[in-house]
A and B are shown apart, each in its own frame.
Chain A
Amino acid sequence: SQTIHQWPATLVQPVGSPLSLECTVEGTSNPNLYWYRQAAGRGLQLLFYSVGIGQISSEVPQNLSASRPQDRQFILSSKKLLLSDSGFYLCAWSVAGTGAYEQYFGPGTRLTVT
Chain B
Amino acid sequence: AQRVTQPEKLLSVFKGAPVELKCNYSYSGSPELFWYVQYSRQRLQLLLRHISRESIKGFTADLNKGETSFHLKKPFAQEEDSAMYYCALSRSGTYKYIFGTGTRLKVLA
Which residues of A approach B to under 8 Å, CB–CB?
Answer: 32, 34, 36, 41-46, 49, 51, 57, 59, 90, 92, 98-108
A98:B43 contact, CB within 8 angstroms: no
B9:A106 contact, CB within 8 angstroms: no
CA distance A83 to B51 in the complex (A): 41
B97:A103 contact, CB within 8 angstroms: yes
A49:B98 contact, CB within 8 angstroms: no
Choose the segment among B11-19, B54-62, B71-79, B88-96 that binds chain A (4+ C-beta atoms closer than 8 Å). B88-96
Decide: A98 near B94, CB < 8 A? Known: A41-B9, A42-B101, A43-B101: yes
> Which of A46, A90, A99 has the largest count of B CB atoms less than 10 A from its CB?
A99
Chain A residues positioned under 8 Å from B101 (CB to CB): 41-43
Q: Quick one: which of B34, B49, B96 contacts A46, CB cutoff 8 A?
A: B96
A100:B49 contact, CB within 8 angstroms: yes
User: 8 Å CB contacts to A: which residues of B84-109?
Assistant: 86, 88, 90, 92-102
CA distance A46 to B98 in the complex (A): 7
B99:A44 contact, CB within 8 angstroms: yes
Chain A residues positioned under 8 Å from B32 (CB to CB): 99-100
A74 to chain B minimum Cβ distance, whole angstroms, is 14
Chain A residues positioned under 8 Å from B86 (CB to CB): 43-44
- Additional 11 contacts, C-beta under 8 A, given A34-B97, A90-B44, A105-B44: A46-B99, A49-B95, A59-B96, A99-B32, A100-B32, A100-B90, A101-B90, A103-B36, A103-B88, A103-B97, A105-B45
A49:B99 contact, CB within 8 angstroms: no
Decide: A43 near B102, CB < 8 A? Known: A98-B95, A100-B51: yes
CA distance A50 to B66 in the complex (A): 33
CA distance A28 to B34 in the complex (A): 22
A61 to chain B minimum Cβ distance, whole angstroms, is 16
The 8 closest A-B pairs by CB, nearest first: A43-B101, A44-B99, A100-B32, A105-B44, A102-B46, A43-B99, A43-B102, A100-B51
Name 29 interchain pairs, CB-CB below 8 A, sorted by A: A36-B99, A41-B9, A41-B101, A42-B101, A43-B6, A43-B101, A44-B86, A44-B88, A44-B99, A45-B99, A46-B99, A49-B96, A51-B95, A57-B95, A59-B96, A90-B44, A98-B90, A98-B92, A99-B32, A100-B32, A100-B50, A100-B90, A101-B90, A102-B46, A102-B49, A104-B45, A105-B45, A107-B43, A108-B43
